[in-house]
Amino acid sequence: MCSLTLGADNILAGIIAGEGAFSRRQWLALSREFMVEQPTVTDFARSFCFYVPQGHTIWVRIQAECFCEVVDYTSGESDKYVLGVRTQTGLRTDPPSDALDPGYDFWMTFSKKHIFVRRTHASAHTNNPTRVPVEEFVTTGWRLRSTPARQLQNPAEILQALQDGLLIVARTEFISSDRSRGYRIEYPVKWADGDAVKDAFRVETGPVLLLDPEKVRAGVPPEFDDFRWAYLDYHGFDEVRCMIERPTSILTGATYPASADTPRRHPAMTDEQITAIRDRLFKGWESPIPHDELERLLETNHSSDLAYLPATTAMFAVDDDPFG
C-alpha cells in the first residue's frame, strides 16, 4: 500500500471539510496519487512495433507479443527486444503461384540495432531467417503502453482474476549462474487455469523469446539463432517448463492412438510402419541431396524439446478502470 502524497492529502482534507462536491476530476487526481507506487505492466493490446521500409511510403504497425530485456546487473546496461505477432507474407508472384512463392509464417523481433525476421515454412528446410540492420529502414521502433496493475500473490488471487475476466500479464526473469547478468521477459497470459480445491494454478502461454542467460551479453547483439522460440507451462513462481521449438519429423505423432470416443480421422500407424517408411525414404538409394538435408526437408518446426528452467515469475492483473 503506497502512502498518500501531499496532493492527495489536500484533496481529502477538502472533502472532509465539506468544501464542495467530490468531483470526477478529484477522483481521477486522487487515483493517480494512489497509483504513484503501484506497479505497471505492458498493455499488450495497445503496444506496437512499427517500421517504414526503404523505397516505400507505407507505415507498418505490428501488435507486440512479448517484451524481452537483457540486463547486466553489474553495470546496469541493458538491451531491449520486442516480438511482434505472427502474420503472413502472402503470394507476390504475378500470376500468384504457390510453387514459386509459397508464403511464410512471418514474425519480426525489433531491437535498437537490428530487426530479426523469422520466416517459417511447413518444411524446416525452407525456413529463411534474417537479421537486418535498422539502417536498411527509413524508421523503426516500438511504442509500449504501460498500465497500472496489481500483483497476484497466490493461486486464489490468480483464480479470482481469471474468473473476473481481467487481463493478466506475467514477468519472468532468468539469471546466469554467477548472477551477474540475465534477461527478463514480459508477456500476456493467454491460457491459464485455477483450482480452488487444490489451491493450484497453471499457466500455458506463448510464444515468448528465450535466450541463454549464460551466454547473452548486454551491448552484444545476438545472432538470429541465439533466440529460442518457446511456449511456457508453469505451476509456480520459481520454475518454468519451456516447450522449445526444434525441427521435428512430420512422422512424429503418427503412432498416437486416440480414444474410441474420439477416433483419429486417419488410423494410427505402428512403430514398424514408421520404421519402414523412414528406411525407404532415407536409406538404400542415392539421394540427389545429402541425406541430412533430405531429412530436414521432411521436418517442420514444432515445440518438441522440453526444458525445466529456474526462473522468477511475477503475475499481475489489470483491474477494470472504475472511471471508464
β pairing state of 167-175 and 312-318:
antiparallel
My answer on whether 58 and 20 are in the same domain is: no
Q: What cell does 49 get?
A: 512495433
Residue 32 corresponds to which cell in the numbers above? Answer: 493517480
C-alpha cell at 58: 507505407
Same domain, 163 and 280: no
Question: Alpha carbon of 212 to those of 25, 42, 116, 129, 313: distances in Å?
Answer: 48, 23, 17, 19, 17
pLDDT tens across 84-141, in order?
999 987 777 888 887 778 788 999 999 999 999 999 988 999 898 999 999 999 999 9
pLDDT for residue 8: 41
Same domain flag for 192 and 314: yes
Check whether residue 133 and residue 279 sit in a common domain.
no
Q: How far is it, in rounded angstroms, from Cα 99 to Cα 41?
A: 44
> What count of other Cβ atoms lies within 10 Å of the Cβ of residue 183?
23
Run of H or E including 305? strand 299-310
User: Cell 464542495, residue?
Assistant: 20
144 within some domain: yes
Residue 257 lies in a domain: no
Residue 77, in any domain of the structure: yes
Q: Could you tell me if 145 and 43 are in contact, meaning their C-beta atoms sit under 8 angstroms apart? A: yes
Cell of 98: 504457390
User: How far apart are alpha carbons 167 and 9 in whole angstroms?
Assistant: 31
Containing H/E element for 72? Answer: strand 60-72
Same domain membership, residue 67 and residue 31: no
Residues 324 and 192 in one domain: yes
Q: Are 147 and 31 in contact (CB under 8 A)?
A: no
Across 153-238, the runs of DSSP E, i.e. the strands, are 167-175, 181-188, 192-195, 200-210, 228-234
What's the rounded Cα separation, in Å, for the pair 105 and 288?
A: 28
Distance (Å, rounded) from C-alpha 8 to C-alpha 2?
Answer: 12
User: Does residue 256 lie in a domain region?
Assistant: no
Residue 99: partners with Cβ closer than 8 Å, 6 or more residues away: none
Q: Which candidate, 58, 115, 122, places its Cα nearest to that of 88?
A: 122
Number of domains in the chain: 3
The low-confidence residues of the chain, meaning pLDDT below 70, are 1-37, 321-324
* Residues 157, 26 within the same domain: no
Residue 1, in any domain of the structure: no
Return the C-alpha cell found at 10.
489536500
Beta bridge partners of 171: 186, 314
Nearest CA to 187 out of 69, 88, 310 is that of 69
What are the cell numbers at 217? 551479453
- The reply to whether 130 and 29 lie within a common domain is no
Residues 115, 32, single domain; the answer is no
* Residues of the domain holding 135: 40-250+302-324
How far apart are the C-alpha atoms of 283 and 131, rounded to whole Å?
A: 36
C-alpha–C-alpha distance, residues 172 and 213, integer Å: 13
Helix axes 6-16, 24-34, angle to 10 degrees: 140
Q: Collect all residues with Cβ–Cβ distance below 8 Å to 13 and sequence separation of at least 6.
A: none
**Residue whose entry in the numeric block shows the C-alpha cell 517459417:** 120
Is 201 part of any domain? yes
Pair 15, 158 in one domain: no
Q: What is the pLDDT of residues 161-188, one digit of tens each?
A: 999 999 999 999 999 999 999 999 999 9
